[in-house]
Structures are given as C-alpha cells and as structure tokens.
A and B are shown apart, each in its own frame.
Chain A
C-alpha cells in the first residue's frame, strides 16, 4: 500500500498552514501600523507640541501630557535601573549559584510577566493611600518597579557574557571584586547594559494601567511632582473613549507618537545588541 501521496499532502497542508499563520501575524502588525499612520498623521501638527490638552471642542495639543510622560519615565528609570543593575551584578558576580540567587531569579521572571495593573494597585496602597492624593512621584515609582526586572535580567545576562579571562586578570592584579566590577566588567558590558535600559524605557513609556491610580491625569500644565500629572497613555485612554471628535484625533496623534518612539527604542536596542554580538564574533 502506498501512503506516500497522503504523507506528502499532509506535509504540504501543515507547512502551508504555518505560512498562513506567519502571514496573519505580520498582517496584524501591518494593520495596526497602517491604522496608526492614517489616523495619526491627520492629527499631526505643531500644536501638539506647543499647546495643552484642550477642553472638549477646543483647540489644543499634548504638551503637558508629553512632558508628564517624559518626567515620569525618566524618574522611573533613574530609580528603577540602578536597583536592577546592582541586583543583576549580585546574581552574576556574588551569588552565582546560591539558593538565594535561584529564588531571586525565579521571582524576577515572575515579576517580568506580572500584570502591570497589580503593580499600580501596590503603589496605590503603599504611596497614594499614605500621601492622601495622586501624584507624579507615585506614578514614577510604579514605573520604576516595572523597570527593575527588565534591567536586572539584561544586566545579569550581559555580565555573564564577559570573558572569564578578563575577570581573572583583574583579580590577578590584586583587585577586589568591586574594583573588577566597576573598572572591568561594567565597561566591557556597557552596551549590553545600555540595551537593557533602552528596553526598560520602551517597556514603561507605554504603560497605562499602573498610572491610572498613581499619577492619574491633569488637564493643565504641572511640574509639581507631588500633584497629579498629565501623561500620554492616560490621555489617550480618556480621549479615545470620549465622544468628541477632536479629542479622538488627539488620542490618535498621541498613539502614533508613543508607538513610533517605542518602536524606535526597541529597534535601536536590537541594533546595539547585534553590534555587540558581531564584536564578539557572534559568540554568546
């Protein structure tokens, strides 16, 4: 009995299905980018970067939201990334295979995929409730908590890539581990660690859920870190769901700005990583 035609047919059918699956995935990305471009470009103008969010029916821009997002993302990275880098250093250099490190690695991976809205509730409970009001600093703290696992993971991976010989040479010169870490390992792993920072910025700058109950939103210009502050994701959320046409247009413009900046960040992180790997001759 010849089963060959059937087997060949089955093979062709499943391979065709996997091709269709890939095309579907790519089509989704294309559809989303196309929608963003076609809706967002219509709303692009200088007003976006020079004026505040308007009341319904009024003319306006997104200046306060852009400023608030930039400030909170920057603060989030400034608070979160040192913690992530130091903890990653501990895992890579001091507690390599201790039980504590195994647990921390595990918990960190869990935090990496934990729902961001939970982190928002956590900061609400420990910061907003105690301060009695929403504030920019609470939003920044929520973003910092989200940035820690990303930087921790990349820092550990990148430090592990540094050739052992370099570490040994430094130790042979009589340097303590701290000196080796600061003067040899960090410079050697610099572009890798920077990649981690870029990825963390990309991750937190689009986060909406944790900001809803930490920084809230602000219709007006505010630089006060102790008060609610406007930010792009929450403005997009509120404006997109509003019935007003000009608010919706602003939401689309904001969505385009945020997506393009995040895609640029992730692409540059990838390019940096590729350069790093080709420097090492493709070695892991």
Chain B
C-alpha cells in the first residue's frame, strides 16, 4: 500500500488546476475569435458607415474615382447567384441523399458517399479555374444561345435571358456555386434521412406504399426540420463562397435583369479589389461589405445549426 505523500497530492492538484485553466482558456478563445471578428469588422467598416449611413446598402453606385460606394449591386449578385445555386443544388442533393439512403446497393453505398464527400474537399479555387476554362465556354457555346433563342422573346421571363452570351456572369457563377454546395447538402440530408427510425418506414411499406410514397409521406415529414437546416447550411456556404465565384462572375458593379450579364458578389468584390483599394474610404467600404456578409451568413448558419440541433435532440429522445 503506497503512502500518499501530501506534497505529491498538492502538486497534483496544482497541475490539475493548470491543465483545466489551459483547456478552459482555449475554449474561451473560440468565443473571443467570433467576438473579435465582429468588433474588428465593425471598427474597419466604421468610416464608410459613418460617411454613407444607411444609404450604403440602398445605392447601386460603386465609383472609386469619385469615392462613392453603395452595396446594392454586390448584395443583389450574392442573393441571385445563391438562389440559382440552391434551385439547382437542393433537388439534386435531395436526389443523391435519397439514392444513398433508400436505393443504393449496400456495396456501392460507401464508395459513392466517399466520392460525394471528396467533391466537398476540393478547394474552391479549383472550382473557379474549372468554371472559367471548362464550364463557361460550354455554357457560352451551347446553353446560353439556346436560352436566348427560346426564352428572350417571352415577355417578362425573356428579360432574364437578354444580351450576348458572355460565358461568364451571374448564371455561370450560380451553376459553379451549385456544384460546390451540392456535396454539403447531399451529405447533410443523407445524415438527416438516416435519423428516421426504420420502424416508421417499415410501417409505411407494410401498408403497401411504394418507395417514393414512403419517402414523401414518412421520411420527408419526419425530417422536415433537418432538411431545412441542411439546405440553409448549404445556403450559408453559397453566400460566402469567394474564389469559385470570383473567377466567373465578371466583376461588374451593376444590377441587370439578365442572368447572362456579368455582375459581382460581396465576397468577389472584396477578393478582387481589396489589395488594389487606395484611400481609407475605399478600403473601409470593402470591409463594410465584409461586415454585411458576416451578418448575413452568421444569421443563416446560426438558424441552420439551431434547426439541426433540434433534430438531433429529438432523435436522441426518440431512440
């Protein structure tokens, strides 16, 4: 029987306190980082906010020569490209998730799942260079002329497809974004669908429902919260994505009705212009754009996480 040396015990207690303090301060640092991001962006954006006031978000003008800046065109571009991306990626991601959870032969489940996750690991700059050199020419030669031929004569809808096929522009950026967020949406939805208790699905089949009916009337209603959360997580990615968009957006600070026209987004404006910005007001306006992006994406991601968490808790209490 070892005799406990009181000095040894005291030393152990000190080590314990030190270790605990280290881990606690590392954890607190995570909070400080988020706070630091908010404070530093606010401070950097302050000159622009003080100078332009609320009109910063309502004006389309972006003129470094006269030192006048408004965020409306980048906000418009960010929202429209993300919308296009979600219109394409949500149904496709939904399909992939369904395929992986309900249809896929077990042997292929893992390889296909890993392939989708690898698509998520490809850095965004690769999507950008691929979009510029491969996707944009294809869209320019084949897809955009077709859209112009078939839709530009239709009133109202036609305005979306007017003008020459540049190849680069809002539509191309939306398509590249769709491919980028697709794996995130597919992987999240797959995990969400996996939380549906097999018992529920079996009851559906027992009543004679087809696979699709079980999916639509059992799986989807049961995982509604998770689906919305997963989609919003993808939206958060799309809104903040920088490099892939910067390559193919065309960087034009104007709002045009046509999806084929070049435009700009918040993140691509910052990436393109920040190092070239001269003058405090120019730099500050770009940081103000960053602040806007931070507020938008933070809200979207926070809501998405809250919804996914709710699903997790429900899944745990049901199990």
- Measured CB to CB, the residues of A under 8 A from B are 7-8, 10-11, 14-15, 17-22, 24-26, 28-29, 31-32, 35-36, 39, 82-87, 89-91, 93-95, 100-101, 103-104, 106-111, 113-119, 121-122, 124-126, 129, 145, 148-149, 152, 174, 176-179, 181-182, 202, 205-209, 212-213, 216, 233, 236-237, 240-241, 251-252, 255, 258-259, 262-263, 266-267, 270
Contacts and interface: CB of A to CB of B under 8 A. Distances in A.
A87 B29 contact: yes
B30 A118 contact: no
B267 A263 contact: no
Contacts of B294: 114-115, 118
A84 to B, nearest CB: 8
Contacts of A94: 20, 23-24
Contacts of A177: 16, 19-20
A106 B117 CA distance: 23
25 contacts: A8-B210, A14-B212, A18-B103, A21-B99, A31-B130, A31-B134, A32-B130, A90-B20, A91-B27, A95-B27, A101-B27, A104-B31, A106-B305, A113-B297, A115-B242, A115-B294, A118-B41, A121-B41, A125-B44, A145-B33, A206-B123, A206-B124, A262-B123, A263-B122, A270-B114
The size bracket of the interface on B is 35 or more
Interface in B189-205: none
A258 B129 CA distance: 13
Contacts of B92: 21, 24-25
Given A106-B309, A121-B270, A181-B19, 15 more contacts: A20-B95, A21-B94, A25-B92, A31-B134, A110-B298, A110-B301, A113-B233, A116-B240, A117-B293, A126-B40, A148-B33, A176-B16, A259-B126, A262-B122, A262-B123
Contact of B118 (A21, A106, A252, A263): A263
Given A93-B23, A262-B122, A176 B12 contact: yes
Contacts, number: 266
Tell me whether chain A's interface is mostly helix, strand or loop, or mixed.
helix
A25 B236 contact: no
B287 interface: yes
Interface in B71-120: 91-96, 98-100, 103-104, 112, 114-119
Nearest to B42: A125
B4 to A, nearest CB: 8
A233 B123 contact: yes
Given A17-B95, A19-B99, A113-B301, A107 B31 contact: yes
Nearest to B287: A121
A43 to B, nearest CB: 13
A115 B240 contact: yes
Interface in B204-237: 210-213, 215, 233, 236-237
Contacts of A18: 94-96, 98-99, 103
Nearest to A19: B99
Given A32-B130, A87-B30, A209-B243, A258 B186 contact: no
Contacts of A262: 121-123
B210 A7 contact: yes
